[in-house]
Every structure is written in C-alpha cells, then in structure tokens.
C-alpha cells in the first residue's frame, strides 16, 4: 500500500518563470539592446541626426583627425575623409543601407525558406531529398561570387545585395524549419488534426508553424549580423550600393589607402560594423536561451 501523497510547493520568494512582458524587458542584455536601438533609430532618422552634411565635400578640410587629437576640429568629432566629408555624418547615414538590406533580405529569405522548410519536413520523401540537396548546394556556393555575377548582369545596387543574400538565407531557414517540423509532425495534436480531416495546408500553417516560430525568431536575430557583414563586404569590393550613397563597407574600402596617415577613415566605420554585428549575435544567443524551455532558468 502506497504512502500518503505529498504535494510539493515552490519555496517562498522563488522567481516565477512567467512574469509578463515587463519582466522579459528587464532581463534584456543592456549593452546589446542599447546598440540595436541606437542602430535602428539612426537608420530611420539618420538624415536629421547628422552634425554635418554627409555628402558635402571640402578639400581644404580633408584628412582632419578626430576632434580630440592634435589638429582636430570640434565640428568633426570623428574627423574627415580624403574629400573633406564628415566621418560621423557618413557613418550615421550609412547605417540606413545596412538596415534596408538586412530587413529586405531577411524578409524574403526567411519567408521563402520557412515555406520550403515546412513543405520539405511535412511531406518528406523525394521532395524532402531534392529540397535539402538544393539547399546544401546553395549554401556551398560562394555568396560573394554570386553577388559579383549579379552585378555583371543587373548592375550594382541595393537590389543586387538583397537578391544575392536571399539566395543563401532561404537555404539556412529551410534546413532549420525542416528539422523542427520533423519532430513536431509526429506529435499527438498533429495526428489528431489529420484524423479530424484537416487539410495539409491547415496542419502546416495553423498547427505546425506556430510551434517552430521561436526558432525562426532566433535565427532571424543571428542572421541580421551576417547580412550586415555581407553588405559591408560587397560594398568593400565595389559590388554593393554604389557611390555617392555612403555605406560602412565602402568607407572602410575608401580609407584603406590612407590607413597609415588617416586611420580614422577606415577604423570608425569598421568599429560600427563590429559593434552592431556583435550586438545582434549576443541578442540572438539571449533569445535562444530565453525561448528554449530546456535552457531557460526558472
């Protein structure tokens, strides 16, 4: 005969696993969140935040060092480039190109990859094999080479970077979603939906998709940093957004010739790239830990 049943209760003062939106916001990593918020605000309102005109050239003011160094000018906090343009203003305006490319490429890549991954994981069979081999081939194809080929065909621009990046991103999302769907499709609620006569489309988009969205959100955050690096790399090589629109990669490329005498032309845009990419990567790690019940601290 079994003994009395004991009811276990959490100790007083124990933290709750669900404390609402405000509790989640309070746990956000401070430094990455601050950098991301500043990046978004600068991308949206950069034209109104610049201390000077990002496009104005003045050869009499070229190669001015940052304002705190000897020979610097208080009007140009981060100095000027080889054409006398304000570095800080160009960094602020250049953030918009990275933001537009990142949002556009991730929107197309994640939407296409999620749909393909859902179909691949749900139906399986030869369709799954074909899609996964296509995804493997796309991920193995050098992204920079794809962008250079597109530039030769349709010319440089934002659309070129978005198309080239989306061609790789869809494969990453498809593989992730497919692996998640393989486990979700075997759960009881999916089997009950089939027994109830639900269509394949309803099962995929109503029953399965909401259960894999957490992984999509995490991958989106992690891939933001990847897309920003890709855009900067292509701009550095001349295959990105063409001048006179300033971009961070383009600024790094323009300053490499003067790195010994005017290091600030390349260093400060490079620091902006590193800070934003690191912030998105850290935020992605935090989201992964927070959204995964196995990793979440109770």
Write down the pLDDT at residue 3. 47
| Cβ atoms within 10 Å, residue 112 | 17
Residues in a beta bridge with 80:
86
Which DSSP string corresponds to 254-277?
A: HHGGGTTT-THHHHHHHHHHHHHH
| Cβ atoms within 10 Å, residue 291 | 14
Round the average pLDDT of the chain to a whole number and report it.
Answer: 83
Average pLDDT (289-297) is 59
pLDDT in tens, 213-261: 888 888 888 888 888 888 888 888 877 778 788 889 889 988 888 988 8
Q: How far is it, in rounded angstroms, from Cα 201 to Cα 210?
A: 13
Write down the pLDDT at residue 8. 43
pLDDT in tens, 177-226: 998 898 888 888 888 888 888 888 888 888 888 888 888 888 888 888 88
Which DSSP string corresponds to 79-129?
A: -B-TTS-BHHHHHHHHHHHHHHHHHHHHHHHHHHHHHHHHHHHHH-HHHHH
What is the homologous superfamily of the domain 38-50+61-291 according to CATH?
A: MetI-like (1.10.3720.10)
Confidence check: pLDDT of 138 > 50:
yes
Q: Tell which residue, 164, 142, 163, 160, has the closest CA to residue 151.
A: 160
Q: Tell which residue, 79, 89, 92, 77, has the closest CA to residue 38.
A: 92
pLDDT in tens, 51-91: 888 888 888 998 999 999 988 888 899 999 989 999 999 99
The predicted model scores a pTM of: 0.81
């Amino acid at each position: 005969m079994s003994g009395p049943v004991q009811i276990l209760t959490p100790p007083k003062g124990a933290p709750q696993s669900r404390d609402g939106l405000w509790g989640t916001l309070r746990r956000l990593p401070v430094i990455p969140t601050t950098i991301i918020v500043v990046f978004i605000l600068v991308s949206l309102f950069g034209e109104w935040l610049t201390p000077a005109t990002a496009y104005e050239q003045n050869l009499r003011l070229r190669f001015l060092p940052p304002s705190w160094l000897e020979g610097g000018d208080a009007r140009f906090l981060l100095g000027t480039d080889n054409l006398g343009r304000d570095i800080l203003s160009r960094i602020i305006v250049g953030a918009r190109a990275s933001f537009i490319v990142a949002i556009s490429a991730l929107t197309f890549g994640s939407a296409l990859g999620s749909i393909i991954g859902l179909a691949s994981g749900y139906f399986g069979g030869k369709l799954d094999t074909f899609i996964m081999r296509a995804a493997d081939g796309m991920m193995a194809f050098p992204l920079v080479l794809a962008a250079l080929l597109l530039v030769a065909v349709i010319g440089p621009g934002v659309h070129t970077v978005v198309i080239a990046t989306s061609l790789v991103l869809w494969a990453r999302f498809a593989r992730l979603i497919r692996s998640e769907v393989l486990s979700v499709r075997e759960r009881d609620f999916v089997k009950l939906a089939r027994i109830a006569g639900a269509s394949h489309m309803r099962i995929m988009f109503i029953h399965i998709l909401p259960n894999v969205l957490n992984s999509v959100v995490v991958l989106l955050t992690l891939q933001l940093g990847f897309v920003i690096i890709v855009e900067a790399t292509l701009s550095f090589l001349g295959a990105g957004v063409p001048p006179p629109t300033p971009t961070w990669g383009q600024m790094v490329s323009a300053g490499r010739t003067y790195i010994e005498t005017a290091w600030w032309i390349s260093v400060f845009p490079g620091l902006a790239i590193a800070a934003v990419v690191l912030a998105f990567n850290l935020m992605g790690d935090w989201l992964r830990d927070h959204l995964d019940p196995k990793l979440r601290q109770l």
